[in-house]
């Protein structure tokens, strides 16, 4: 945990972590909870959300498909009812598409865009007005190395387009909400070891080729991503907005 360094607690804050049932989201929920925030874990996998929230001091599990408007509306209504105004929103839920463009059907394109991209609009719409009114808010959106360099090892056109869009959306929202002191930023990870990237576990040759592209010479961890996200949720990052932190071991350095 990095936060003793940063020295800010989040007592009294209410956080929502989408896709909080496993992977990065679960880890982010644990750290925000450890800092004192009440954390709502939203996940399409209700059992995973419940398991994750059960480990938190002030956890709330809410079943939610972030790509579905009605589901998002009712999930955030439940969060407001149980925990009050949302101060911190981490848009982490996502699905990957490995389908090459020539085989990519419209149904898959639409699903990836609903979950990885339109979800940002749906969830931010639920929290932005109240954040502006209270003149405090932190929004962190998960993009991907793939979204910045056109894919490569993991993620093809639909995923790449959606994740690239997240960065533009984040900058636009950051600009609009900045006068109210609400920050909106992106964390963009390389290929860490989660269920989403399990194909790398089964393919040592591919994994070796991925690692060969990383200046720091090894894969990052779930904790590396968590630390960047949680940093952006604290006062230590209050002068950062519209930014993207690339947690990728130096792959994208210029």
Ligand X SMILES: NC(=O)c1ccc[n+]([C@@H]2O[C@H](COP(=O)([O-])OP(=O)(O)OC[C@H]3O[C@@H](n4cnc5c(N)ncnc54)[C@H](O)[C@@H]3O)[C@@H](O)[C@H]2O)c1
Catalytic residues: 159
Query: Two tokens at 120?
Result: 């940002």
Point out which span in 44-52, 102-110, 167-175, 207-215 binds ligand X (CB under 6 A).
44-52
Q: Give the count of beta carbons closer than 10 Å to the beta carbon of residue 253.
A: 8
Shortest Å distance, C-beta 217 to ligand X: 17
> How many residues bind ligand X, per CB under 6 A?
29
- The answer to whether 77 and 55 have CB atoms below 8 angstroms apart is no
Shortest Å distance, C-beta 92 to ligand X: 5
- The answer to whether 164 and 147 have CB atoms below 8 angstroms apart is yes
Does residue 107 bind ligand X (CB under 6 A)?
no
- The answer to whether 223 and 23 have CB atoms below 8 angstroms apart is no
Applying CB under 6 A, which of residues 60, 174, 196, 228 lies at the interface with ligand X?
196
Point out which span in 6-14, 80-88, 184-192, 232-240 binds ligand X (CB under 6 A).
184-192
Q: What angle separates helix 157-177 from helix 119-134, to the nearest 10 degrees?
A: 10
Angle subtended at Cα 86 by Cα 82 and Cα 90, rounded to the nearest 5 degrees = 115
| Rounded Cα–Cα distance for residues 114 and 112 (Å) | 6
Strands 88-91 and 137-142, by their bridges, are: parallel
Distances in whole angstroms, Cα of residue 206 to Cα of each of 93, 201, 218, 220: 25, 9, 14, 16
Does residue 44 bind ligand X (CB under 6 A)?
yes
Applying CB under 6 A, which of residues 59, 151, 189, 249 lies at the interface with ligand X?
189
- The answer to whether 218 and 155 have CB atoms below 8 angstroms apart is no
Does residue 191 bind ligand X (CB under 6 A)?
yes
Does residue 23 bind ligand X (CB under 6 A)?
yes
x-marked contacts with ligand X along 141-170 as a string, rule CB under 6 A:
-x-x--------------------------
| Residue recorded with tokens 């904790």 | 223
- The answer to whether 220 and 190 have CB atoms below 8 angstroms apart is yes
Point out which span in 60-68, 176-184, 207-215, 238-246 binds ligand X (CB under 6 A).
60-68
Does residue 115 bind ligand X (CB under 6 A)?
yes
Shortest Å distance, C-beta 23 to ligand X: 2
Question: Taking Cα atoms as reference points, which of 58, 50, 56 lies closest to residue 13?
Answer: 58
Does residue 185 bind ligand X (CB under 6 A)?
no
Does residue 244 bind ligand X (CB under 6 A)?
no
Shortest Å distance, C-beta 86 to ligand X: 16
Point out which span in 80-88, 89-97, 206-214, 226-234 binds ligand X (CB under 6 A).
89-97
Q: Which residues bind ligand X (CB under 6 A)?
A: 18-19, 21-25, 43-45, 48, 64-67, 92-95, 115, 142, 144, 189, 191-192, 194-197
């Amino acid at each position: 945990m990095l936060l003793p360094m940063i020295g800010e607690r989040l007592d009294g804050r209410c956080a929502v972590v989408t896709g909080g049932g496993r992977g990065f989201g679960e880890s982010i929920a644990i750290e925000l909870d450890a800092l004192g925030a009440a954390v709502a874990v939203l996940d399409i996998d209700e059992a995973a959300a419940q398991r994750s929230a059960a480990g938190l001091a002030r956890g709330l599990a809410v079943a939610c498909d972030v790509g579905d408007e009605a589901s998002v509306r009712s999930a955030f209504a439940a969060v407001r009812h149980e925990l009050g105004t949302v101060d911190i929103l981490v848009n982490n839920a996502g699905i990957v598409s490995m389908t090459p463009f020539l085989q990519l059907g419209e149904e898959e394109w639409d699903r990836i865009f609903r979950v990885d991209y339109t979800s940002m609009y749906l969830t931010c719409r639920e929290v932005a007005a109240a954040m502006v009114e209270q003149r405090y808010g932190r929004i962190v959106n998960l993009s991907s190395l793939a979204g910045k360099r056109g894919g490569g090892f993991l993620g093809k056109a639909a995923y790449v387009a959606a994740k690239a869009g997240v960065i533009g959306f984040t900058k636009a929202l950051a600009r609009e909400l900045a006068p109210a002191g609400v920050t909106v930023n992106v964390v963009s990870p390389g290929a860490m070891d989660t269920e989403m990237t399990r194909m790398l576990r089964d393919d040592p040759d591919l994994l070796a080729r991925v690692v060969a592209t990383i200046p720091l010479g090894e894969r990052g961890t779930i904790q590396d991503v968590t630390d960047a996200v949680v940093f952006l949720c604290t006062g230590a990052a209050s002068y950062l907005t519209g930014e993207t932190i690339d947690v990728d071991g130096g792959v994208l350095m210029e």
